[in-house]
Chain A
Amino acid sequence: NAGVTQTPKFRVLKTGQSMTLLCAQDMNHEYMYWYRQDPGMGLRLIHYSVGEGTTAKGEVPDGYNVSRLKKQNFLLGLESAAPSQTSVYFCASSRQGDYQPQHFGDGTRLSIL
């Protein structure tokens, strides 16, 4: 099993451009998450989903949109990229229920110029 797969791994954008980050998991997990990681800031939750067709805002949702049309996929969109969105983005998934560990993808390193 591949686990959690993120594409692309690296990307450079210009301010104002849009893009979509893709996350796919093959573990049949109900829950999926998008985090951003900045130096000294730990992991901050952007959006999450508790099932196909449902999404919810996390701690830092502004400037991002998400969709979960299929259970195995969770897409993160940047509508109009800003330099403040330069970060490493991690997707994670977990089983349904309390106290479940999260499984992370390898991350997408995104630079906005």
Chain B
Amino acid sequence: GQQVMQIPQYQHVQEGEDFTTYCNSSTTLSNIQWYKQRPGGHPVFLIQLVKSGEVKKQKRLTFQFGEAKKNSSLHITATQTTDVGTYFCAGPTGSGGSNYKLTFGKGTLLTVNP
């Protein structure tokens, strides 16, 4: 079945440093979604990428979708303590238009030292 791999599993940075997490799929994705989960909280939708090579920005966060639509990345510029949490990518599961089901990567836990 489809697999969505995320690296790194953990990342600890000093406040102000940049952070990047990478997501790779074993199959071509029609779209990819990113979620953030604060410690003790629930996943919250951040953004969705649909087009090949797409780049979207949300303030200090930059999301990219690869040209082959098999990989994606999330880059945070100048991290802040509010960025702490686990970042998940998720791609649609299965074929035939089952885009309402998602396969989640295992996530990257970001900790920030103030």
Interface residue ranges, A against B (CB under 8 Å): 31, 33, 35, 40-45, 48, 50, 58, 90, 92, 94, 96-107
Contacts and interface: CB of A to CB of B under 8 A. Distances in A.
Given A48-B101, A97-B100, A107-B42, 13 more contacts: A40-B9, A42-B107, A45-B101, A45-B103, A58-B101, A98-B100, A99-B31, A99-B48, A101-B33, A102-B43, A102-B45, A106-B41, A106-B42
Contact of B106 (A40, A48, A92): A40
24 contacts: A31-B100, A35-B104, A40-B106, A42-B105, A43-B88, A43-B90, A45-B101, A45-B103, A58-B101, A90-B43, A92-B43, A94-B100, A98-B30, A98-B31, A98-B100, A99-B48, A99-B50, A99-B99, A100-B100, A102-B33, A102-B45, A104-B43, A105-B42, A107-B42
Interface residues of B, number: 25
